[in-house]
Amino acid sequence: MEDKIAIIACSNACLDYFENDYNIKIFRSTLHLGDEDFLDYIDISADDFYKRLENDKTVFPSSSYYPLGKMIETYEELVKEGYNKAIVISISSELSGIVNASKMAANEVEGLEVTVFDSKTLAYPEAKMALTAGEMASKGESVKEIIKELEYIRDNNKIYFAVNTLTYLVKNGRLSNASGFIGNTLKIKPLLTISKDGKVETVEKIRTFKKAVDRVLEMYFEETKGKNVEPFIVHANNEETRDYLIEVLKKDNPELKEIATMPLTAVVGAHSGPKTIGLGYYIKK
């Protein structure tokens, strides 16, 4: 029997903001705002979420991943649709329990061989993995071939972030080297990255957001010089800085026709905070 491979991503990939034809299923996290719960993107969009944060400074957001029972239901639906294999592409296991939950849920379903892939990242690089997997699956390529390509993307991308406030990352426990970021030091605007093992780490401590953004650009240019890369920008309701980055990148390389950009979906923004901007690259083969 020929394999029919389903692709599943988690909502941290922000895939809802990209049009695609690959029928990629999404394990949707839930956003918690005070006493209210919202299923990411379905109940609250990125725009609406950031507006809520701007309008009500007293509400502190948090998130929880897709319940195990819902994951099992998704797997069972895939079996009914004729799939016998599935690849789950998840946010870094250092940032969420989705990897382990996806594996546990898979053990409860018969007739579907599930491979869970830890992207060791989130947002655009995770989305690129999911879209690549979707395209390869649609062409009839095997799980082994798809995983090999996903490993290449995982090992050949980098992203740097400038955050407007550290409060969200520190309070939600998502900054792996957070020691020292207490009291007045929360006012600094550090340069952050996602490490090779999938942790959010501080690269440099910077005093102003503008300087942090300029340092993000410097790091990008230093690391991509002479390389064939695909740049991308992610942002938390910060179109102004996004447009500034696009302008600088195109001025440096007029041949750049298109730069992938995406908003950080609500459950990612709950940890990064509003106005966060990320610039990254994927090294092409």
What's the pLDDT score for residue 160?
97
CB atoms within 10 A of CB 260: 15
Per DSSP, 134 falls in state H
Q: Does the pLDDT at position 221 exceed 80?
A: yes
Mean pLDDT of 186-215: 89
What's the pLDDT score for residue 205?
86
Run of H or E residues at 48:
helix 46-55
Q: Does the pLDDT at position 178 exceed 60?
A: no
**Band of residue 177 on the pLDDT scale cut at 50, 70, 90:** low
Mean pLDDT of 260-269: 95
Mean pLDDT of 258-266: 95
The CATH T-level fold of domain 5-28+65-155 is Rossmann fold (3.40.50)
Distance CA(119)–CA(72), nearest Å, equals 21
What's the pLDDT score for residue 197?
95
Bigger pLDDT: 183 or 239?
Answer: 239
- Please give the radius of gyration of the chain, using alpha carbons only, rounded to the nearest integer: 19
**Band of residue 30 on the pLDDT scale cut at 50, 70, 90:** very high
**Band of residue 59 on the pLDDT scale cut at 50, 70, 90:** confident
| Residue type at position 132 | T
- Percent of the chain exceeding pLDDT 90 equals 80
Distance CA(171)–CA(81), nearest Å, equals 41
What's the pLDDT score for residue 228?
94
Q: Where in the chain is the domain with CATH 3.40.50.10170?
A: 5-28+65-155
Mean pLDDT of 57-76: 94
Per-residue pLDDT of 81-121, as tens digits, reads 999 999 999 999 999 999 999 999 999 999 999 999 999 99
Q: Does the pLDDT at position 182 exceed 70?
A: no
**Band of residue 184 on the pLDDT scale cut at 50, 70, 90:** very low
Residue among 219, 207, 280, 213 at smallest CA distance from 241:
213
Mean pLDDT of 29-46: 95
**Lowest-pLDDT choice from 36-50, 173-187, 255-269:** 173-187
Q: What is the pTM of this model?
A: 0.94
Q: Where in the chain is the domain with CATH 3.30.1180.10?
A: 157-283
**Band of residue 245 on the pLDDT scale cut at 50, 70, 90:** very high
Asked: is 157-283 a CATH 3.30.2320.50 domain? The reply is: no
What's the pLDDT score for residue 181?
53
Mean confidence (pLDDT) of the chain? 92
Joined tokens for residue 203: 């690269």
Q: Does the pLDDT at position 183 exceed 70?
A: no
Please answer whether residues 266 and 44 qualify as being in contact, where contact means their C-beta atoms are separated by less than 8 angstroms.
yes
- Percent of the chain exceeding pLDDT 70 equals 94
Please answer whether residues 237 and 261 qualify as being in contact, where contact means their C-beta atoms are separated by less than 8 angstroms.
no
Per DSSP, 6 falls in state E
